[in-house]
Amino acid sequence: MNDFPKIDEFDKKILRILQEDASISNKDLAQKIGLAPSSCLMRVKGLQKMGLIKRTVSVLNEKKLGYQITAFLRVELKVINQNSLQDFLKQALSFPQILQCYLITGGGTFLMKIIAKDLEDYRDFIINKLTTIDGVGNIETSIVMGIEKETDCIPV
């Protein structure tokens, strides 16, 4: 037995459209899915209340904001226990360069997506911020050379 919320085809259509363009007006959304605006708004509010819509954001263009480097880091801690994980995260997650951080299995303890203005900015981040955190062991970097697919849309 699963605890997934029950949603119908109207809800799925709403979710698909909002993932592509969360700025769409309720009136236009209602028209696209074939519901009255009041019914559509009620459904959107319900999807938010169920937690299916976590938040609504604007996705910015990092290149136009001067961030030319995107990299993925595998960060390995010297010792892995509850205290070392919490201590590392408390410091690391305060760095705005870190866009995503995942606790992972396999090589490394954390996988992070970071951005930097250029290679000098990247170097400064690694040397003057990340490696100053107690317990950091090894850091492996993969710099993104090209983006072949980028989406946040979950198949619904």
Q: Is residue 111 part of a domain?
A: yes
The amino acid at residue 48 is Q
Non-local CB neighbours of 30 within 8 Å, separated by 6+ positions: 36, 37, 39, 40, 41
3-state secondary structure of 29: helix
Residues 22 and 75 in one domain: no
Domain CATH code at residue 20: 1.10.10.10
pLDDT value for 107? 78
Residue 5's pLDDT is: 86
Q: Are 52 and 100 in contact (CB under 8 A)?
A: no
The pLDDT assigned to 131 comes to: 95
Q: Name the band, by pLDDT with cuts 50, 70 and 90, for residue 1.
A: low
The answer to whether residue 130 sits within a structural domain is yes
Position 92 in a domain: yes
The pLDDT mean for the chain works out to: 95
Assess whether 45 and 90 both reside in one domain.
Answer: no
User: 130 in helix, strand or coil?
Assistant: helix
Give pLDDT tens digits for 21-78: 999 999 999 999 999 999 999 999 999 999 999 999 999 999 999 999 999 999 999 9
Tens of pLDDT, residues 132-155: 999 999 999 999 999 999 999 999
Structural domain span for residue 129? 69-143
**pLDDT interval class at 125 (50, 70, 90):** very high
pLDDT number for residue 106: 85
